[in-house]
């Protein structure tokens, strides 16, 4: 075999020498002076043993010692393809059939959702402190002076009344704001608290930050409302956590100019500000992250996991570790590295997952599952992650460190062939996901009960008019001050 490569090098050298005007006699003379033998058998290898490539074939190390022109490009491609194939095979071998055992999943935390410690007003003042109302009053006076030449001369007490009026309007929902002061539709609690003209003037000038330009090197797109956002955010992070929490996005309705405004047609409120929220099953907001564009919610230590996983880990920072809290999210966030990172922190998790994130696990396709209620499942070799695929109206794939297929239950589904509802099997992972994933949806529902943005009058053109994301129970529970 060595002689074959000697010939190969000879012909290659011949081609180069022709380009360099070197004669054939010079080449033969050079070969005669060398210690290479053209004749002889393949067994005369002087103890040389070729190495194996990724496909198990023999390769010559002498090829790598030749020039770039001598190194065949096909060999490099074959090596890469072999490496990829090897990696895919290794990923497939990381999964196996079998029952999933999540181990100890007993919750070690404490939370009593039925125990009421504060009145609605006291609870509101936990979010909107007296210092915040004082800040808003001062900034409103400064803004009105710079904008109109005269100060509003407002104070924290009047700002509190203004907030209370807006909350009450959100619960009553008359079609026009002035109707709350008109004789036929007058609401005394509102009309006696503030004159209508004063209300509209305050509504036009109210500001949490009076500056017209952002601070130097500012990266916060919500700097104009930062005092309010920070106050609410800090209180949310202090709330006790429920055993079952979920992470999802919501849209804060907002139609005015805003750099971070988005349009998501699939949402009930398609136009507004995207907000990632951590909620308990009850719908209480425990943490949130306003989306400001690329890089939002990505701490450097989680950057290698991607945007979705980084957001979950950032929002989960206030969840106590090693106490078996359960966390649910959808396929925008779910990835197997995220599940393992949460497991390392002592949190169990479950979420729907995209097919391209299965890390080589091969599950049955929709065609192979064949009938509604069919299930396919595999467990990682480590036994820490379970992938479950279930055929409902379409294929649903879930990844979890909390639950697998068993124990199954039955659900009703319509059968086109039988023309009636029939019982189909449902995996345990799907049961848990349906029961505990809806925390953010419940928050949206509670907010909608007291949504003053439904007013059919032109929205106020100030910088805090989008703050409709405050906890729904909080806004609905406070009728007035």
How do the domains of the chain map onto residue ranges? 2-92, 223-441
Beta pairing, strands 325-329 & 347-352: parallel
User: What's the pLDDT score for residue 388?
Assistant: 93
Q: What is the dihedral of CA 438, 440, 441, 445, to 10 degrees?
A: 130
Q: What is the model's pLDDT at position 473?
A: 35
| Residues of the chain predicted below pLDDT 70 | 1-93, 112-116, 295-297, 450-481
What is the C-alpha separation between 219 and 105, in angstroms, rounded? Answer: 41
Helices (H), 280-427: 307-315, 336-344, 366-369
Confidence (pLDDT) at 308 = 86
3-state helix, strand, coil in the chain (%, to 5): 40, 15, 45
pLDDT for position 178: 93
Structural tokens at position 216: 């130097």
Secondary structure E strands in 306-385: 325-329, 347-352, 375-380
> What per-residue confidence (pLDDT) applies to 25?
54
Q: What is the structure's pLDDT at 93? A: 65
Q: What is the pLDDT of residue 471?
A: 38
* DSSP codes joined into one string, 65-107: TS-TTTS-HHHHHHHHHHHHHHHHHHHHTTEE-S---------
Q: What tokens were used for 369? A: 């599952």
pLDDT of residue 167: 85
Q: Which helix (H) or strand (E) holds 197?
A: helix 196-205
Q: Which helix (H) or strand (E) holds 176?
A: none
Residue 376 sits at φ, ψ, to 5 deg, of: -135, 140
**Spatial CB neighbours of 127, under 8 Å, sequence gap ≥ 6:** 231, 232, 235, 470, 471, 474
pLDDT at site 238: 87
């Amino acid at each position: 075999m060595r002689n074959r490569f000697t010939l190969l090098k000879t012909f290659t050298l011949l081609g180069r020498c022709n380009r360099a005007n070197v004669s054939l006699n010079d080449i033969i003379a050079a070969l005669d002076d060398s210690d290479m033998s053209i004749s002889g058998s393949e067994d005369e290898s002087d103890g040389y043993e070729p190495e194996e490539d990724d496909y198990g074939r023999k390769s010559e190390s002498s090829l790598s010692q030749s020039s770039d022109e001598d190194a065949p490009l096909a060999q490099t491609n074959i090596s890469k393809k072999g490496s990829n194939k090897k990696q895919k095979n290794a990923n497939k071998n990381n999964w196996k059939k079998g029952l999933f055992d999540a181990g100890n999943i007993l919750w070690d935390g404490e939370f009593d959702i039925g125990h009421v410690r504060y009145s609605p007003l006291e609870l509101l003042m936990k979010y909107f402190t007296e210092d915040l109302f004082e800040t808003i009053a001062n900034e409103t006076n400064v803004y009105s002076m710079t904008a109109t030449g005269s100060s509003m001369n407002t104070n924290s007490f009047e700002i509190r009344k203004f907030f209370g009026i807006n909350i009450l309007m959100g619960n009553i929902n008359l079609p026009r704001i002035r109707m709350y002061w008109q004789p036929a539709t007058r609401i005394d609690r509102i009309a006696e608290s503030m004159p209508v003209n004063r209300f509209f003037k305050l509504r036009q000038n109210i500001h949490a930050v009076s500056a017209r330009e952002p601070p130097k090197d500012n990266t916060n797109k919500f700097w104009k409302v930062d005092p309010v956002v920070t106050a609410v955010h800090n209180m949310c992070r202090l709330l006790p956590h429920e055993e079952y929490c979920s992470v999802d996005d919501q849209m804060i309705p907002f139609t005015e100019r805003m750099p971070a405004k988005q349009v998501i047609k699939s949402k009930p409120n398609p136009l507004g500000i995207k907000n990632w929220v951590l909620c308990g099953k009850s719908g209480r907001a425990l943490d949130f992250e306003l989306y400001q564009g690329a890089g939002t919610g990505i701490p450097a230590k989680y950057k290698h996991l991607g945007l979705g996983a980084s957001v979950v880990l950032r929002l989960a920072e206030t969840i106590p570790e090693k106490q078996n809290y359960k966390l649910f999210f959808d396929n925008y966030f779910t990835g197997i590295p995220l599940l393992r990172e949460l497991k390392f922190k002592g949190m169990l998790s479950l979420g729907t997952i995209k097919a391209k994130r299965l890390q080589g696990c091969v599950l049955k396709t929709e065609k192979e599952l064949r009938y509604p209620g069919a299930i396919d499942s595999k467990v990682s070799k480590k036994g820490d992650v379970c992938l479950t695929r279930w055929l409902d109206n379409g294929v649903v794939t879930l990844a979890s460190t909390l639950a697998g297929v068993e124990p199954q239950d039955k659900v009703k589904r319509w059968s086109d062939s039988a023309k009636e509802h029939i019982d189909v099997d449902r995996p345990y992972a799907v049961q848990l996901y349906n029961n505990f994933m809806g925390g953010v949806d419940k928050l949206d529902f509670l907010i909608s009960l007291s949504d003053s943005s439904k007013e059919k009058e032109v929205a106020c053109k100030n910088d805090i008019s989008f703050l409709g994301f405050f906890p729904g129970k909080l806004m609905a529970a406070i009728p007035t001050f």
